[in-house]
Amino acid sequence: MLFPSLAPITSSAAFFQARPQVVHRAIVSWYEELYSSVVAAVVSGEARPIREELERLLTPLVRGGFSKLVVVECDGEWSCVFNNAYLGTDTSSLDEIARRIGVKYVSVMLSEDVRTRAGVLWHGARQFCLVDYSASSRPVVRTISVMNDGSRWRFYQEGDPLPQEDPAWVLGPRIADRFSENALVLLADSVGVRLLSESFYKRVFSQVRIHVQSEEIDLHSARRQFGFEH
C-alpha cells in the first residue's frame, strides 16, 4: 500500500497525465457546477514531506462522500488526487475530470485484508483501471480487479489486455491470488505511474474543499477501527 501510515486514505488513488495546474482548474470548474460552496487554494510556503501534507490537508475523514481533496504534482507530467473519504479515496467520479481535459487517467486500489481475532476489519482490493481520453473520441479502457466484497473474493476484467500484460497475472484457480500486488505495480509503472515509489510524488500542489453534511472521524480512530493500528 502507498504511504501505509495514511491508510485508509491511500488505499486508492487517481492519476492524470496532466500538469497539476490543469487538473486543479478542471476540478474546481466542475465542482462549482455541483456544489454550493467550493474553496480552492494552491499550497504555498515551504514544502513539507508528502506524508505530513496529506495528513494535514485531508483530515478529518468523513463518512459518505468527501469534503477535502488534494492534487499532488508527480514526475513525468503526472498528477495524483486523494480525498478524505472514510473508506479510502473515492475515485468513482474522477474520470469525468480526465474526460473534460482529454487525458490519460489511471485509478488504483491496493490493500490487503486486515484480519484480527474478531474477524476481517478491512476487505482488501487490487484494481487497475486505465481510461485514455487522449486516444480518440472513443476512449481506450482496461480494467483488472480482484477484491473481497465481504463474502468472497471476486475477479473482474474489462477491455483488451495491454501489450505489457502477462496473461499469467489473471489466471489461477484461487481468485484471491490473481493480479498480485507486484503485477499491479508493474502494470502501473508501464504506463508511467510509479505507484509505490515515494520519489514519484513531488509535492502537494493544491487543496479543494467542498461543503457536505457528513459525520467526521479522525484518522487514527479510523485506522484503529480498520485494524491498521492498535
pLDDT tens-digit map of 133-151: 987 667 889 999 999 998 8
Residues 6+ apart with CB under 8 A from 54: 3, 6, 9, 10, 70, 72, 82, 204
Distance CA 219, CA 62 (A): 10
Residue (of 61, 64, 83) closest to 10 by Cα position: 83
Residue 92: predicted pLDDT: 87
Distance CA 182, CA 192 (A): 15
Residue 203: predicted pLDDT: 93
Q: What amino acid is encoded at 192 in this protein?
A: G
Number of domains making up the chain? 1
Residue 39: predicted pLDDT: 95
C-alpha cell at 16: 492524470
Are 42 and 205 in contact by the 8 Å Cβ rule? The answer is yes
The CA dihedral of 49, 51, 56, 57, to the nearest 10 degrees, is 100
Residues 6+ apart with CB under 8 A from 191: 104, 106, 130, 162
pLDDT per residue rounded down to tens, the chain (230 residues): 788 999 999 999 999 999 999 999 999 999 999 998 999 999 976 678 899 999 999 999 999 889 999 999 999 999 999 999 999 999 988 999 999 999 999 999 999 999 887 788 999 999 999 999 987 667 889 999 999 998 899 999 999 999 999 999 999 899 999 999 999 999 999 999 999 999 999 999 999 999 888 899 999 999 999 999 87
The pTM of the full predicted model, rounded to 2 decimals, is 0.95
Residue 46: predicted pLDDT: 67
Query: Which residues is 127 bridged to in the sheet?
Result: 109, 145
Distance CA 158, CA 98 (A): 19
Residues 6+ apart with CB under 8 A from 81: 13, 14, 15, 16, 23, 27, 69, 70, 71, 72, 89, 91, 94, 97
Please give the residue range of the domain that contains residue 116. 4-226
Residue (of 133, 143, 140, 195) closest to 165 by Cα position: 143
**What is the residue whose three cell numbers read 486523494?**
82
pLDDT tens-digit map of 30-46: 999 999 899 999 997 66
